[in-house]
């Protein structure tokens, strides 16, 4: 029996984990595999990542880890899978991974609702001056007393929200914005289905520049790609109204 257990232990996959994960996840990993953890929970440098890749069958990185060709080359001959903890994969050289025969996986829908919640919270926080008001109270600013215009914010009802990227997160945000009485507009590579547009009361803009000027709020909900890098620049900012609020929960 002991010999069998030793053999099973010997044949366990070696899994390298780059950052501290939720307790239940770490517990499950350690029950199934031979796991090398990062107890300090600090981002590993390229040399450390390469060393971990060289001694792992499976590598579990996060967005803080740059998995480039050098790291992948270190794992050549052993590393078979990169199981990314998160949805985005822009920190992984997917082309180099494919050439090396290394499979890359991610968790594309795990944070959809959470990210949409955060985006909506930011949309609320800025015009309603929530953070500014909380800081004022902590600093004793309310001691001057109340006045009709003190900390007066802006309402959301009837305001135009332009969503750049109408995928899962963009649609989840649109649903929340609609509930607050906002007008939902969006720019995407192509329109979503008419059924989705109708359910969200969303208007498609094929030209981003045309949409930007008309919006009270603009939310970035697109992935980082070669096409979207520097999508928002000094040039595009100049095409927004001076009172427009830009929300960024994307890369």
CATH number of the domain that residue 96 is part of: 3.40.50.720
Residue 187 lies inside a defined structural domain of this protein: yes
CA separation, residue 198 to residues 170, 184, 222, 226 (Å): 15, 11, 21, 31
Whether pTM exceeds 0.75: yes
My answer on whether 234 and 116 are in the same domain is: yes
Residue 147 lies inside a defined structural domain of this protein: no
Residue 134 lies inside a defined structural domain of this protein: no
Residue in the structure block whose two tokens are 């909380």: 134
My answer on whether 84 and 176 are in the same domain is: no
Taking CA 47 as the corner, what is the angle to CA 44 and CA 49, rounded to the nearest 5 degrees?
50
Residue 219 lies inside a defined structural domain of this protein: yes
Total domains present in the chain: 2
pLDDT tens per residue across all 251 residues of the chain: 443 344 345 579 999 999 999 999 999 999 999 999 998 889 999 999 999 999 999 999 999 999 999 999 999 999 999 999 988 898 999 999 999 999 999 998 888 999 999 999 999 999 999 998 889 888 887 766 778 888 888 999 999 999 999 999 999 999 999 999 999 999 999 999 999 999 999 999 999 999 999 999 999 999 888 888 889 999 999 999 999 999 999 86
Domain boundary among 45, 80, 105: 105
* Rounded CA separation 238/245 (Å): 13
My answer on whether 85 and 190 are in the same domain is: no
* Rounded CA separation 60/25 (Å): 12
Query: How many Cα atoms sit within 13 Å of 181 on the Cβ side?
Result: 4
Domain around 221: 112-120+154-248
Taking CA 41 as the corner, what is the angle to CA 35 and CA 47, rounded to the nearest 5 degrees?
75
My answer on whether 11 and 55 are in the same domain is: yes
Residue 125 lies inside a defined structural domain of this protein: no
- Strand 183-187 vs strand 34-36: parallel, antiparallel, or unpaired? unpaired
Closest by alpha carbon to 75, among 100, 106, 95? 100
Residue 33 lies inside a defined structural domain of this protein: yes
My answer on whether 86 and 158 are in the same domain is: no
* Rounded CA separation 170/186 (Å): 9
Residue 127 lies inside a defined structural domain of this protein: no
My answer on whether 30 and 116 are in the same domain is: no
Tell me what pLDDT residue 3 has: 38
* Rounded CA separation 45/18 (Å): 10
My answer on whether 70 and 190 are in the same domain is: no
Taking CA 78 as the corner, what is the angle to CA 74 and CA 81, rounded to the nearest 5 degrees?
95
Contact in structure between 163 and 186 (CB atoms under 8 Å): yes
Residue 142 lies inside a defined structural domain of this protein: no
Count Cβ atoms below 10 Å from residue 19 Cβ, excluding itself.
18
My answer on whether 23 and 53 are in the same domain is: yes
Q: Where are the beta strands (DSSP E) in 96-195?
A: 103-105, 160-164, 183-187
Tell me what pLDDT residue 130 has: 93
My answer on whether 98 and 10 are in the same domain is: yes
Domain boundary among 105, 131, 162: 105
* Rounded CA separation 87/113 (Å): 13
My answer on whether 116 and 217 are in the same domain is: yes
Query: pLDDT tens, 118-155?
Result: 999 999 999 999 998 889 888 887 766 778 888 888 99
Tell me what pLDDT residue 7 has: 37
Query: pLDDT tens, 87-105?
Result: 889 899 999 999 999 999 9
- The DSSP annotation for 180-209 comes to TTPEEEEE-SS---HHHHHHHTEEE-S-HH
Domain boundary among 105, 136, 166: 105
My answer on whether 61 and 116 are in the same domain is: no
My answer on whether 96 and 116 are in the same domain is: no
Tell me what pLDDT residue 10 has: 57
């Amino acid at each position: 029996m002991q010999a069998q257990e030793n053999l099973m232990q010997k044949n366990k996959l070696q899994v390298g984990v780059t950052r501290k994960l939720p307790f239940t996840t770490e517990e499950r990993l350690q029950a199934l595999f031979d796991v090398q953890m990062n107890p300090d929970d600090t981002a590993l440098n390229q040399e450390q990542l390469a060393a971990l890749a060289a001694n792992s069958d499976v590598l579990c990185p996060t967005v803080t880890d740059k998995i480039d060709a050098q790291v992948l080359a270190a794992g050549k001959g052993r590393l078979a899978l990169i199981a990314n903890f998160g949805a985005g994969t822009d920190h992984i050289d997917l082309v180099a991974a494919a050439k090396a025969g290394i499979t890359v996986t991610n968790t594309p829908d795990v944070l959809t609702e959470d990210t949409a919640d955060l985006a909506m919270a930011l949309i609320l926080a800025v015009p309603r001056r929530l953070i500014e008001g909380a800081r004022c109270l902590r600093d004793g600013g309310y001691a001057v007393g109340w006045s009709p215009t003190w900390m007066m914010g802006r309402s959301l009802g009837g305001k135009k929200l332009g969503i750049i990227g109408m995928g899962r997160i963009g649609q989840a945000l649109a649903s929340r914005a609609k509930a607050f009485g906002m007008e939902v507009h969006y720019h995407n590579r192509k329109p979503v289905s008419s059924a989705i547009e109708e359910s969200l009361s969303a208007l498609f803009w094929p030209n981003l520049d045309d949409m930007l000027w008309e919006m009270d709020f603009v939310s970035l909900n697109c992935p980082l790609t070669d096409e979207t890098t520097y999508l928002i620049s000094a040039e595009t900012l100049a095409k927004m109204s001076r009172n427009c609020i830009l929300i960024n929960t994307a890369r």
